[in-house]
Structure 1
Amino acid sequence: MDFTTDERERYARALDKIMRAAQGSVGFVRDIINATLDDLISIDYTRAHFIKAENLNPVLCRTSGLIPLEDDLLVTKFSQWLASVTNCKNVKFSVVAIDTLCRFLLEAYYQSPEWAQPEILRALGAVLYENGPSCPQILDELVSSSQGRVGLLFRLLKSENSEVKRTSMQCIGNLCMRSESGSVIEEVHLQHSYQQVLTVLHEGQQQTDDDVTYLRLLLASLKSLQNILGASKSIHTGDLGKVLAALKSVMLVGLPGIGFCPPIQPSLLPSPFFLQERSPSSKAMSEREVSDVKSTPSSGASKKKKKPKRARQQEQSKGEDDESQTAALGGSLGLDESDVFNQSWPITGKITSSESEYSDTEGGQTSKLRSLSGKVRHASLGCLHSVFKNTEKRVLFGYWSFFVPDAPVGTSGPPPQTLFTSILKENNAKCRAGSVMVLSTLLEGSKQFLVAAEDREYNRASFTPFSQTLASMIKEIHRCLQLSLAAETYGSNITQIIKCMSILVGNVPYQQLSSGLLTKVVRSMRPFYQHKDNRVRTACLTCLGAVVSASAPLNEVHQLLAEHSLPKGCGSGTLFARLATDKEDRELQDQTEELAPTLRGSQEGPSDSREEKSVEGDQMSWLIRWCSDIITGGEDDHGDPQSISEVLPVRLEALQVLTQIIKHYFDLVQPFLTQLTVIIQVCLKSDDDDQVRLHGLKVLEELGKSMLANLTADKETGTRLTVQQVVTVWDGVLGGPLPSVLQDTAHLVLQASACDCLGTIGPQTMDLLPVHHRILIMTVLLGLVNEEDYRLQMASIRALGVIVQYPCLREDVTFVADTANAILGCMQHSSVNVRMRAAWSLGNLCDALHSNIQNDDSHFLQAFSELLLQRLLEAAISGSSDHDKVKSNSVRALGLLGRILESQTLKKNVFQSLIKKAMETLLRNINTGAMKVRWNSCYALGNFFRNPHLPADGEAWQGEIFSSLTKLLTSCKNFKVRINAALSLSLIEARSGYGSQIHHIWMSLLRALELIDDVEEVSELKYRDTLRQQLCHTLIHIFGLLTPEDSHQIFKDTVHLGKEWIFITNVQLYVKTLQKQSEDNVRSTDPDRLPDTAQAMEKLKRASDNAKRLLQEHSQPKEKTIMSDLSAAMQGLSVT
Structure 2
Amino acid sequence: MEPNTILKLLSDFKMFQIQHETSYDRILSILEMMSTIDIEDKLIAECIGELFHIALPENIDENDHRLDRFFNWLCEIYWKNECAEFCAIRVISKIIKYNTKYRSWLFKNLFCPQSPICERILEDKIKNDLYVLSVLECLNAIFNDLKIDLITEEQKQSCGFVLTLLIRIHYSLNINSLQNPNITLYCLILLNKYASFCKEDIELNISELMGISLGFIEYGLNIKSVSIICPELIKPSYYLNNASDEQIVEPIIHPKFGGKLSKKRHRGLKPKESVNTILEAAKNGFGELDSEMAMINNMEKGQCDVLQNEISSRIRLASIILFGQITRSIKRHVLYTYWQSIFPYDGVDNVCARKGIIFVCQVEVNSKCRSAALNVCTEVLLNLKPLYSQAEFKDRSSAFLPFSHMLGLSIITTYKALIDIIHSEKCLNVLTQALKCLAALAEITPFAKLECEIVANIINTVKNLVHHNDYTIQISALSVLEVLLMDSEMPSEIAEALGISKECIPTSSSNENVPNIGFTKNVNKENCFDPGKKGTDKYNFEASWLILKIISNLEMSLVQDNTICKKIKTPCTLRIKSLHILTAMANHFEFFLKDNLEKLTFVLRDSIHDGQLEVRLCGSKCMEACAYQMNLFLQNNCNNDNICSFKCFWICMFPIITHQMSIEKESTAVKITLCDAISNIGAIIFENLSEPIRINLLSFLSGLSCDSSEDVLVRATVVRALSVFVTFPTMHMNFVFIENTAELILRLAGEGNMTVRIKVIWSMGNISDALLENISDNTAEKISDEILWRLIQYSTEACNDCDKVRCNAVRTLGNLLRLLTEKHFQHTSDRTVIKCAISKLIDGIRSSGTAKVKWNSCYAVGKVLQNERIFQYSSRYKDLTWQLPLFSALCHVIYNHPNYKVKINATAALIHIKEREYFGEHYSNIWSALLEAIEQSNNLINFYEYNHRDQLQEQMCFLICHIIKLANLQDIIILSRVLFNKLEIVKNTWMRVLRRLLPAKAAPLLSCSTHLNDFLRSPSELSMEQKNAILLVMDAIPTSY
Which residue identity lines up with residue 727 of structure 1 in the other structure? Answer: K
CA distance in 2, matches of 1:890, 1:844: 11
Are 1:1061 and 2:984 counterparts? yes
The correspondence for 1:857, drawn from 761, 771, 779, is 779
Are 1:536 and 2:473 counterparts? yes
- 2:626: which partner in 1? 703
Structure 1 position 483, deviation (Å): 1.3
CA distance in 1, matches of 2:362, 2:988: 65
The correspondence for 1:367, drawn from 306, 319, 327, is 306
Distance 1:231 1:39, change over 3 A: farther
- 1:221: which partner in 2? 187
CA distance in 1, matches of 2:779, 2:574: 54
Distance 1:111 1:677, change over 3 A: same
Does the Cα contact within 8 Å between 2:698 and 2:722 map onto a contact in 1? no
Distance 1:346 1:915, change over 3 A: farther
The correspondence for 1:203, drawn from 172, 183, 195, is 172
CA distance in 2, matches of 1:621, 1:77: 72
Instruction: Calculate the aligned-residue CA RMSD, in Å.
Output: 3.9
- 1:935: which partner in 2? 855
Percent identity among equivalent residues?
20
CA distance in 2, matches of 1:917, 1:788: 35
Does the Cα contact within 8 Å between 1:741 and 1:751 map onto a contact in 2? yes
Which residue identity lines up with residue 317 of structure 1 in the other structure? Answer: E
Matches within 5 A, 1:170-319: 170-177=137-144, 186-203=155-172, 206=175, 211=178, 213=180, 215-255=181-221, 256-257=223-224, 262-271=229-238, 317-318=280-281
CA distance in 2, matches of 1:898, 1:151: 81
Matches within 5 A, 1:464-479: 464-479=401-416
Does the Cα contact within 8 Å between 2:213 and 2:323 map onto a contact in 1? yes
- 1:601: which partner in 2? none
Matches within 5 A, 1:703-782: 703-713=626-636, 722-769=642-689, 770-782=693-705
CA distance in 2, matches of 1:95, 1:1065: 91
Are 1:686 and 2:686 counterparts? no
Between 553-562 and 911-920, the greater mean CA deviation after superposition: 553-562
Does the Cα contact within 8 Å between 2:910 and 2:959 map onto a contact in 1? yes
Does the Cα contact within 8 Å between 1:144 and 1:192 map onto a contact in 2? yes
CA distance in 1, matches of 2:157, 2:847: 45
Distance 1:841 1:69, change over 3 A: farther
Distance 1:825 1:364, change over 3 A: same
Does the Cα contact within 8 Å between 1:561 and 1:622 map onto a contact in 2? yes
Does the Cα contact within 8 Å between 2:118 and 2:165 map onto a contact in 1? no
- 1:799: which partner in 2? 721
CA distance in 1, matches of 2:29, 2:554: 69
Cα-to-partner distance string for 1:85-107 (whole Å, 9 max, x where unaligned):
xxxxxxxx799599997876564
The correspondence for 1:817, drawn from 732, 739, 753, is 739
Distance 1:257 1:560, change over 3 A: closer
CA distance in 1, matches of 2:537, 2:595: 14
CA distance in 2, matches of 1:536, 1:728: 37
Cα-to-partner distance string for 1:497-519 (whole Å, 9 max, x where unaligned):
11111111111111112152221
Between 739-748 and 1114-1123, the greater mean CA deviation after superposition: 1114-1123
Structure 1 position 150, deviation (Å): 0.8
Structure 1 position 897, deviation (Å): 1.1
The count of corresponding residues between Structure 1 and Structure 2 is 936
Which residue identity lines up with residue 810 of structure 2 in the other structure? Answer: V
CA distance in 2, matches of 1:631, 1:448: 36
Which residue identity lines up with residue 76 of structure 1 in the other structure? Answer: F
Are 1:558 and 2:526 counterparts? no
- 1:519: which partner in 2? 456
Structure 1 position 274, deviation (Å): 10
Which residue identity lines up with residue 571 of structure 2 in the other structure? Answer: V
Does the Cα contact within 8 Å between 2:608 and 2:616 map onto a contact in 1? yes
CA distance in 2, matches of 1:1021, 1:240: 39
Are 1:881 and 2:800 counterparts? yes
The correspondence for 1:167, drawn from 134, 145, 164, is 134
- 1:150: which partner in 2? 115
Does the Cα contact within 8 Å between 1:423 and 1:432 map onto a contact in 2? yes
Which residue identity lines up with residue 659 of structure 1 in the other structure? Answer: T
Does the Cα contact within 8 Å between 2:14 and 2:54 map onto a contact in 1? no
CA distance in 2, matches of 1:1112, 1:827: 60
Does the Cα contact within 8 Å between 1:674 and 1:729 map onto a contact in 2? yes
DSSP-derived class of the 1:1011 partner? helix
Structure 1 position 617, deviation (Å): 5.0
- 1:578: which partner in 2? none
DSSP-derived class of the 1:860 partner? coil
DSSP-derived class of the 1:526 partner? helix
Distance 1:1006 1:115, change over 3 A: closer
DSSP-derived class of the 1:858 partner? coil
Does the Cα contact within 8 Å between 1:236 and 1:387 map onto a contact in 2? yes
Which residue identity lines up with residue 579 of structure 2 in the other structure? Answer: L
CA distance in 2, matches of 1:812, 1:950: 27
DSSP-derived class of the 2:868 partner? coil
Which residues of structure 1 form unaligned runs of 5+?
Answer: 1-23, 42-58, 83-92, 276-314, 320-343, 566-605, 1079-1092
DSSP-derived class of the 1:951 partner? helix
CA distance in 2, matches of 1:807, 1:547: 38
Does the Cα contact within 8 Å between 1:105 and 1:120 map onto a contact in 2? no
DSSP-derived class of the 2:870 partner? coil
Distance 1:1048 1:671, change over 3 A: same
The correspondence for 1:623, drawn from 546, 568, 574, is 546
Does the Cα contact within 8 Å between 1:953 and 1:993 map onto a contact in 2? no
- 2:375: which partner in 1? 437
DSSP-derived class of the 1:643 partner? strand
Cα-to-partner distance string for 1:812-859 (whole Å, 9 max, x where unaligned):
445433433443344433333322222222222222222233333331
DSSP-derived class of the 1:876 partner? helix
Distance 1:152 1:1065, change over 3 A: closer
- 2:360: which partner in 1? 422
Cα-to-partner distance string for 1:196-222 (whole Å, 9 max, x where unaligned):
111112225746x7x552x11000000
- 1:900: which partner in 2? 819
CA distance in 2, matches of 1:357, 1:720: 84
Which residue identity lines up with residue 1034 of structure 1 in the other structure? Answer: L
Structure 1 position 978, deviation (Å): 0.8
Between 30-39 and 398-407, the greater mean CA deviation after superposition: 30-39
Cα-to-partner distance string for 1:223-275 (whole Å, 9 max, x where unaligned):
00000001122220112112112222122122224778623324523326999
Structure 1 position 553, deviation (Å): 3.0
- 2:763: which partner in 1? 841
Are 1:76 and 2:42 counterparts? no
- 2:601: which partner in 1? 677
Structure 1 position 1121, deviation (Å): 4.3
The correspondence for 1:1027, drawn from 935, 952, 965, is 952
Which residues of structure 2 form unaligned runs of 5+?
Answer: 35-46, 79-83, 243-277, 503-528, 876-880
Are 1:655 and 2:576 counterparts? no
DSSP-derived class of the 2:280 partner? helix
Distance 1:1025 1:115, change over 3 A: closer
CA distance in 1, matches of 2:1013, 2:824: 42
Which residue identity lines up with residue 201 of structure 1 in the other structure? Answer: H
Structure 1 position 361, deviation (Å): 3.7
- 1:1036: which partner in 2? 961
CA distance in 2, matches of 1:230, 1:970: 51
Matches within 5 A, 1:31-50: 35-36=16-17
Which residue identity lines up with residue 913 of structure 1 in the other structure? Answer: T
Distance 1:223 1:961, change over 3 A: same
Distance 1:31 1:392, change over 3 A: same
Distance 1:991 1:222, change over 3 A: same
- 1:390: which partner in 2? 329
DSSP-derived class of the 2:360 partner? helix
